[in-house]
Structure 1
Amino acid sequence: MLTLINKEIRSFLGSLIGYIVIAVFLTTISLFLWIFPGETNILDSGYATIAPLFYIAPWVFMFLIPAITMRLFAEESRTGTIELLLTKPLTDFQIVLAKYIAGFSLVLFSLLPTLVYFYSVYNLGAPIGNIDVGGTVGSYFGLLFLGSVFVAIGVFSSAITNNQIISFIVSVFLCFFCFIGFESISSLQLLGPIDDIIIKLGINAHYMSMSRGVIDTRDVIYFLGIIMLFLLFTKTTIGSRKW
């Protein structure tokens, strides 16, 4: 399993794909935080906070993570190497998990450089260090969990087709719906008291909860449950190829 994880990570970082994804993410975030005028510009806000990062990042991830994951299984299916992969001494879930960990690793690599933003704002505060550290840590955990869910969705989308473009489109749609779709449905106020339950089915409600700096076990269980659900969907899809 570790061999497969290393192979996928090397495949990302051994080509331009991984570096382009990281560069696009950091460039987009940097432009909104430091260059473009507006509410997301840290220097214009007058407050020592990197909260705009956690507002912008999910929308950037919504497109970049599908771009990372679209090839994981789709390319294997297109080239016919999926059959060879399935003959390896690994269970279907181990194969799925290895692909998932490789995709999440690239997301983690893209987030690590943003700690420079935190360090910069920390020193820009008056006095130095005048920043909500607890809220920032909670927001980072929330963003990691959100990215984890998007990777799981992307892996599933890649497993259901051998076309990378279709995988990308399906993944973007599912990420968008899981992130904001339930909230949009509840805003129609068609189901009365059930609307509050529908909101909690969406990722955004739990992401915003963690962004307040409180790591609630209910939010953690929700994220882990969604990740496991899509990984099991992927395992079922991959397993069906053996029949």
Structure 2
Amino acid sequence: MFTIFKKELFAYLNSLVAYITIGVFLLVLSLLLWVFPETSVLDYGYASLESLFYLTPYLFMFLIPGITMRSFAEEKKEGTFELLVTRPLTDWQIVFGKYLAALALVLFALLPTLVYYISVYQLGTTLGNIDTGAVIGSYIGLFLLGANFAAIGIFSSALTKNQVIAFAIAIFLCFFVFSGFDSLSQLLSLQKFDGVLINLGINEHYQSISRGVLDTRDLVYFISVIVLFLSITKTVLGGRKW
């Protein structure tokens, strides 16, 4: 598994795709947080990073599919997937290796945003006048959200040889799992199940963790979604044996 992880990570870092994708993500996020008046933290009147944790999930819907779209799709297109599966590796090792490499890039994308926290911490009228506990909780929520989206992206890439199609499928699935259940709960015919539907979506659990409270139910939910999509990915890969 470590061999796959190292191979995938180096493949990402040796290509411009990862740098361009992460660079665009950070540029857009910086413009939204510091330049555009509607979302600028400078116009809040108080030290807060609410905009960061509200906007990042929607940017993740494009960033992470852009990172994961090549995971299996490129291997299948170039014919190297057959070589990969002939190695003494199990399907789970292949899936986890590629997943962990994608997750490492998500972490690389998040680390530079700590500069925003330091900036707001320093810019407050009273130095450090920011809810650090809520910020830590929100970052944990963002990382778990990124881990879920990475699992969805890996699954989408395993479905096709075309990276563009994998990218589009991943965006749709990420959006639906994040906020689609919230929209379904608003339908008149489904309103009596609104509590169940809302809890099926990621957004409810992400918002819960972002308040700075680590609830076991939320952690179990995030882990369950990751396991679900990685298990389906492993099943898709196993289909080649039939």
User: If the length of structure 2 is used for normalisation, what is the TM-score?
Assistant: 0.98
Q: Is the 8 A contact 1:158 1:164 kept in 2?
A: yes
Q: Supply the distance in 2 between the matched residues of 1:47 and 1:85 (Cα, whole angstroms).
A: 53
Q: Which residue of 1 aligns with 2:124?
A: 125
- Displacement after TM superposition at 1:242 (Å): 2.4
Q: Counterpart amino acid of 2:31?
A: L
Structure 1's consecutive aligned runs of 4 or more residues displaced over 6 angstroms after TM superposition are: none
Q: Supply the distance in 2 between the matched residues of 1:121 and 1:131 (Cα, whole angstroms).
A: 8
Matches for 1:50-199 after TM superposition, within 5 Å: 50-199=49-198
Q: Supply the distance in 1 between the matched residues of 2:105 and 2:200 (Cα, whole angstroms).
A: 27
User: If the length of structure 1 is used for normalisation, what is the TM-score?
Assistant: 0.98
Q: State which drifts further: 191-200 or 143-152.
A: 191-200
Q: Which residue of 2 aligns with 1:23?
A: 23
- Structure 1 vs Structure 2: percent identity of aligned residues? 59
- Displacement after TM superposition at 1:79 (Å): 1.0
Q: Supply the distance in 1 between the matched residues of 2:27 and 2:90 (Cα, whole angstroms).
A: 39
Secondary structure of the residue that 1:90 maps to in structure 2? Answer: coil
Q: Supply the distance in 2 between the matched residues of 1:10 and 1:169 (Cα, whole angstroms).
A: 25
- Displacement after TM superposition at 1:21 (Å): 1.4
Q: Which residue of 2 aligns with 1:3?
A: 3
- Measured against aligned partners, the alpha-carbon deviations of 1:152-209 in whole angstroms (never above 9, x if no partner) come to 0000000011111111111111001000000000012423432111110000000111
Long gaps (5+) in structure 2: none
Q: Counterpart amino acid of 1:74?
A: A
Q: Supply the distance in 2 between the matched residues of 1:41 and 1:47 (Cα, whole angstroms).
A: 12
Q: Is the 8 A contact 1:189 1:195 kept in 2?
A: no
Q: Supply the distance in 1 between the matched residues of 2:210 and 2:192 (Cα, whole angstroms).
A: 25
Q: Which residue of 2 aligns with 1:237?
A: 236
Q: Counterpart amino acid of 2:3?
A: T
- Displacement after TM superposition at 1:126 (Å): 2.1
- Measured against aligned partners, the alpha-carbon deviations of 1:12-60 in whole angstroms (never above 9, x if no partner) come to 111111111111111011000001111x201111110111001110111
Q: Supply the distance in 2 between the matched residues of 1:162 and 1:15 (Cα, whole angstroms).
A: 19
Secondary structure of the residue that 2:48 maps to in structure 1? Answer: coil
- Measured against aligned partners, the alpha-carbon deviations of 1:41-89 in whole angstroms (never above 9, x if no partner) come to 0111111011100111011110111111111000111111111111111
Long gaps (5+) in structure 1: none
